[in-house]
Amino acid sequence: MPPATATSVLSFRRANKQFGARVGLLDVTVDLQPGIVGLLGPNGAGKTTFLHLAAGLTVPSSGEVSWLGGQLRRSPGLDNQIAFVSDGDHLPRRQSPLEFVGELLRCAGCSPDDAEQRATRTLVRLGLEAQLHAPLSTLSRGQRQRAKLAQAFALPAALLLLDEPLNALDPVWRREVASLLRERAEAGTCVVISSHILEEVEALSDWLVLLFRGRLVAAGTQRQIQDLLRNRASTLRIRCDDARRLAIDLLGRAPVTQLRIDGDELAVNAGDLDGLYRALPAAVLASGVTVAEVATDGDDLVSLFQALSAEVR
């Protein structure tokens, strides 16, 4: 079993979590470094179980979860390095945002003055200056969501774990929260965002972790995931001024398995998509056609997730 790397903020080593006969997580091994990590998967994929293990709220049935290059959850002071924001609208409705965030900061070891200053600064940044002392029950859902996020952003933690953090936020505050996430990542924090909205997390994340039925089906940088997409894309679509002439030339240059012509569009299937990409420029030059557009089916994150998920069904 390989050790966690020196730069790892969070490490899973063959981590399993069972709830009676139900499997929450199955044999997951992954290292997470500073940056924004998108934790993706449909409902029931194991995202919440992953976050609870990452936050130390529960322990694995077998395997190991460790933090900051190897510390175990019982290590002194580790609580102050982890901030967790759960999904759902469960807040102490009688408290004000300032009381809510300040109390959590005091529990993390901040002095009363420091806690109030940090809480106020973060809540103002999140647009809650006018609601600092209002009961949480009087705030809108979006405002309560920002108050939840404030308690995570106010703590100088090495690991932020956020379950559906953009829920209930309008477009303006989605952009502002995304900016805060990027600031924390650039400062060296590992920010883990769980979401079922693939396109949203794809736009935010440096690194992606895809779960399906408790299994890790893919993990890597955006570039590595893009390489997977390219290898798994099934159809190349080429729009040009003479699709038939280009099709004839491609047949002699690439491992084509199927060709379809629809007006000015040529759809090409190939067992070796990289080989098809390599052959295309020469075929275009030899045929003399003018190409207006080249695109692939199955080269988006949704398609990749569907393909990878099918492998573990």
Residues 173-227 have pLDDT tens digits of 999 999 999 999 999 999 999 976 777 787 889 999 988 889 998 899 877 876 7
Q: Where are the alpha helices (DSSP H) in the chain?
A: 47-55, 97-107, 112-125, 141-153, 171-186, 198-204, 222-232, 243-251, 273-287, 301-311
Q: Quick one: pLDDT at residue 195?
A: 78
Q: 274: which residues sit within 8 A by CB, 6+ positions away?
A: 230, 231
pTM, to two decimals: 0.76
Q: Quick: pLDDT tens for 116-131.
A: 999 999 999 999 999 9
Residue 270 has what pLDDT?
78
The model's pLDDT over 2-20, given as tens digits with 9 standing for 90+, comes to 445 557 999 999 999 999 9
* Reported confidence tier of residue 276, pLDDT bands at 50, 70, 90: confident
Q: Tell me, what's the pLDDT at 217?
A: 84
Residue 19's pLDDT is: 93
* Res 3: pLDDT: 46
pLDDT tens-digit series, residues 46-98: 999 999 999 999 999 999 999 987 777 767 777 788 999 998 888 998 999 99
What is the distance between the terminal CA atoms of the chain, rounded to a whole angstrom?
26
Residue 1: pLDDT band (50, 70, 90) is very low
Q: How far apart are CA 123 and CA 95, in angstroms?
A: 14
The residue-averaged pLDDT of 271-298 equals 85
Q: What is the pLDDT of residues 113-168, one digit of tens each?
A: 999 999 999 999 999 999 999 999 999 999 999 999 999 999 889 999 999 999 89
Cα–Cα distance, 182 to 202 (Å, whole number) = 14
- Report the amino acid identity of residue 282: A
> In whole numbers, what is the pLDDT of the chain averaged over residues?
87
Q: Answer whether residue 304 shows pLDDT above 70.
A: no
**pLDDT band at residue 300 under the 50/70/90 scheme:** low
User: Minimal CA–CA distance to 33: which of 79, 84, 69?
Assistant: 69
C-alpha separations of 186 from 33, 180, 207 in Å: 12, 10, 14
The pLDDT assigned to 132 comes to 98
pLDDT reported for residue 256: 86
Which domains does the chain show, CATH number per domain? 10-220 (3.40.50.300), 234-297 (3.30.70.100)
Q: What is the pLDDT of residues 12-43, one digit of tens each?
A: 999 999 999 899 999 999 999 999 999 988 78
Contact 150, 128 (CB under 8 A): yes
Rounded Cα distance between 35 and 38, Å, is: 10
- Report the C-alpha gap between 309 and 95 in whole angstroms: 43
Tell me what pLDDT residue 64 has.
94
Strands 159-163 and 256-262: unpaired
Q: Cα-flanking dihedrals φ and ψ of residue 105, to 5°?
A: -70, -40
